[in-house]
Structure formats: structure tokens, C-alpha cells
Amino acid sequence: MATETQFLGTGWAFPPSFDWRTKEAVLVSQVEDIEQSLHILLSTTPGERVMQPSYGCGIRRMVFENINDSTITEIKDIVSKAVLFFEVRITLHEIDIDATDVYEGVVRLKLDYTVRTTNTRTNIVYPLYLREGTNLREAA
């Protein structure tokens, strides 16, 4: 069991926070650590990390593309390669892209995967906000 915990890992919670009673950083471990790691991976653009410039997922460059079959296939390829190279604790089975709310500025990526050491199948939904960081307003 100790080997399983070591492989799954323990790391700082994201975003970083501190427990004021113990004066220590809040830590997450095992499956929660993997979920947070996936969110960090998907939201990091390659080149952002100085010491690891290849780390990240280049889906942000797809924000201004038309959502069609070709774009969806390219997004799936970008995400699957990022997970393959940077999240070795899981086996990725499927990526499902939900673009039903694309006109509201949201595309949802559902990653279906298995945690290798526990053989636990699970998934996360990562919302890719197309309008993030803009001053777009709702039509009156």
C-alpha cells in the first residue's frame, strides 16, 4: 500500500493555500492529486514553465478556431499527447468533447481514464472557456 501511495503522489493543493492552524501548506494526495495535475496540465501552455518548457497542453491556441470535426480531432490529439507524456499515473481511454454550449463560450472536455496502480476507472470534465479574460457582455 505504501508503494501505491508513493506512486500516486502527494503534492501542494492547487491553487496553493495554507492551513492557518498548522502553519503548513495544504496537501492533496492520490486521486485528488491526479485530478489537480490534469487541470494544471490542460491549462498550461507549452513554454510557460521556464525549467520545463515542453510541459503543457496547447489547446489554448485552438480558442479562435471553428468547432468542426477537424478541430475536435486536433484537440483530442493535443490532449492525448499531453497526458501521455506528462501524466504517467493514468491510462487515458477516451476524450469526449461537448461543444453544445460553444455559443456561450464553453467547450467541455471529458477525460475518461484509469488510475494505473489502483485500476480505478474515473473521469474529469475540464471546461475550456473561450471567452475567458474578455470584457464581452450579454446582449441586452
Q: What is the mean pLDDT of the chain?
A: 86
- Threshold 0.85, pTM exceeds: no
Q: Is the pLDDT of residue 138 over 80?
A: no
CATH number, domain with residue 18: 3.10.450.40
Q: Which residue has the higher pLDDT, 129 or 119?
A: 119
What stretch of H or E contains 65? none
35 within a domain of the structure (yes/no): yes
41 within a domain of the structure (yes/no): yes
60 within a domain of the structure (yes/no): yes
Q: Sign of the C-alpha dihedral, residues 120, 36, 59, 45?
A: negative
Quick one: average pLDDT of 26-35? 85
CA 90 to chain centre: 13
Q: Which residue has the higher pLDDT, 140 or 128?
A: 128
Q: Which three cell numbers stand for residue 78?
A: 493535443
Q: How many domains does the chain have?
A: 1
| Residue 91 confidence class, pLDDT cut points 50, 70, 90 | very high
106 within a domain of the structure (yes/no): no
127 within a domain of the structure (yes/no): no
111 within a domain of the structure (yes/no): no
Give CA–CA dist 64/129, Å, rounded.
11
Instruction: Give the lowest-confidence range in 25-34, 87-96, 97-106.
Output: 25-34
